[in-house]
Structure 1
């Protein structure tokens, strides 16, 4: 195994791409989301650092963002532009003599044998010169440490986190600061008196296994200790799913209409699945009730399929799992591919 893992994370990626196209907006609060109209329903895709100072963040309703930061510039989402910028950055990383594992649009792991700080600075310089974008780089002895380190290097910095410094840096932080632990798991841990990373690291793995399962319990403890034996792999990034969703400007009160909309979204997703030439194994439906409560239900396909009728049928079956017939503001359908 290589000695060091670098986590390269593009700073405020979507906003940064927009600022390259609109340099006159530098220094101003910029919010990207929906069609760029904050009077309509939609959510923030990303916000510039200036907008974040007002409490604007990804997933926030655009209308709320406009109230928090009335001077912000709102821009529509342009996925093609972000795809192209991402491809350019990943091409720069692949020019290195190193294993590159792409995680998505704006982040990747890079495995190196020595001089991690020097390589990190080289990456930052090459990405900046080639694309005009800035990135932060976390350095660790494994992927988990590198991923956690990046947050301490932002923006445009480099930070090293190792087994020797892990507890000092992270020990007093809440458990949901860890990569892989969300608010729900953090609440469940807090119910047992485990609130910090240090407390979780000191927990008995077998006791947690009894509560969270034989695999999840010990994994939570390893996570809190900064332990990760998964290698960086250079296989091409492959999307795990395809999805479509729609935010409605007027709530859908009629659940017959909700059913028709889910069927419509499912057919669009089926078209995306067919284009991928990969089979879907599971279909998930997302419902966001008014005012802003989100629920999901999934339905596994009997056999992996690309057929539109089967994907639509699974989506409608998943929709049947929603027992509340409240007004709906957003619907989404996601097809999850088989693992290859």
Structure 2
């Protein structure tokens, strides 16, 4: 989907079309929307001048997404809003409305499933489709079907999307970015050399900042330069598994199937603080936040019917460097007290001298959990833990 969150907001505020708009900073509430309607009569009657500007933002939030006019100023997803305000102070700032975004997400995916039922859900705004067996799906190399999907989605939602057509998921993902917004791009195996090889290595989904920097340090900037390296050379510099993947990816090879059903591998909760907190000066506040994160992860697991064995934490310091630690326990759990206790042990393994800007808790190695029997299929039952004499795990001191 094209700038999905922002595009949904433009349906609500059509007067902002063509303007730089960023989404983030706060959550939308029905009460605030009701106040706006009471003041202006309708949402589309609000004057552009009445909307808050990014220049006035003060805080530590990050941008969730931005319209294409805002992106022309260098503003993008996951960018700190204070930095974005320096790049595009005139941008209009709108709150996040995840309830509305999920509704539109379900609608556009239902449209796709009616036309091409083999669909892999990749999040709120992206899917993969295997249209090999869709009747007439191969006309013009898939372009006719892609255009039909775009049209049906627009008719149902008023939103646009961009489609990449290719023999595999790797190339399709890259192709979907070529002609945004509302583009259709087709990449066949014979097109890899002239369409893919001139691109930066970072355009391959799976080459992150660290790998990109290492490649650049080795004199490899484009995908074509990566493809020119031998398999043994790549395995020598990047390890057997990742080196082999780099070699295949640079040649446009990917044998992953479209997966119509998938299981989560982990569940997590994290929060970025309004101001940096220190383990020494803000121990009580950090302890309360940490406990709440553990409780929310436990609630997520219980609500969705999972339990996990690997419990971990994530910290981001004031200098933006991040650390993670995890511990794998003997028994699967979805209990908040257990998660809190083990996550607290993880905290003891990280330096806490610096101020902290982000704190997160994660539970992985998930299995389906039967709440009535407190057991998971093929898992070791969770046994009652002997008392340590220290009271409720949720009240144990933190950062000590």
- The two structures have a TM-score, normalised by structure 1, of 0.90
Check whether the contact 2:116–2:130 (CA below 8 A) recurs between aligned residues. no
Match for residue 265 of structure 1 among 280, 289, 293: 293
Displacement of 1:173? 2.3
Partner of 1:176: 202
Paired with 2:164 and 2:145, the residues of 1 have a C-alpha distance of 11
Shift of 1:291: 4.8
> How many angstroms apart in 2 are the aligned matches of 1:299 and 1:81?
37
Identify the residue that residue 58 of structure 2 maps to in structure 1: 39
Q: Tell me, what secondary structure is at the counterpart of 1:28?
A: coil
- Of 147, 155, 160, the residue aligned with 2:186 is 160
Counterpart pick for 2:6 among 9, 12, 15: 15
Query: Secondary structure of the residue that 2:73 maps to in structure 1?
Result: coil
CA RMSD, aligned part only?
2.0
The structural deviation recorded for 1:234 is: 2.1
Residue equivalent to 2:355: 327
Distance 1:233 1:191, change over 3 A: same
Question: 1:243 and 2:268 equivalent?
Answer: yes
Q: Is the contact between residue 263 and residue 316 of structure 1 (CA under 8 Å) also seen in structure 2? A: no
Gaps of 5+ in 1: 1-9
CA contact (8 A) 1:263 1:315 kept: no
Instruction: List gaps (5 residues or longer) in structure 2.
Output: 28-55, 133-137, 369-400
Query: Quick one: distance in 1 between partners of 2:84 and 2:170?
Result: 32
Q: Aligned-pair distance for 1:260?
A: 4.2
2: distance between equivalents of 1:21 and 1:74? 14
For residues 187-229 of structure 1, give each alpha carbon's deviation from its aligned partner in whole angstroms, at most 9, with x where no partner exists: 2223333332112212221232233332221111001111011
Q: Could you say which structure has the larger radius of gyration?
A: 2
Instruction: Quote the Cα distance in structure 2 between the aligned partners of 1:199 and 1:97.
Output: 36
Q: Does 1:225 align with 2:251?
A: yes
Q: Structure 1 19/117 Cα, relative in aligned 2: closer, same or farther at 3 Å?
A: same
Q: Deviation at 1:324?
A: 4.4
Distance 1:337 1:33, change over 3 A: farther
Moved more, 269-278 or 189-198: 189-198
Residue 143 of structure 2 aligns with which residue?
Answer: 117
Alignment map for 1:44-83 (pairs within 5 Å): 44-83=63-102
Task: Name the structure 1 match of 2:383.
Answer: none
Moved more, 249-258 or 114-123: 249-258
Q: Which moved more, 1:11-20 or 1:319-328?
A: 319-328
Q: Partner of 1:141 in structure 2? A: 167
Deviations 1:6-59 (Å, cap 9, x if unpaired)?
xxxx00001111111111221221111131782122111111111111211111
Paired residues in the alignment total 330
For residue 260 of structure 2, the aligned residue among 217, 234, 239 is: 234
Partner Cα distance (1:296, 1:77) in 2: 28
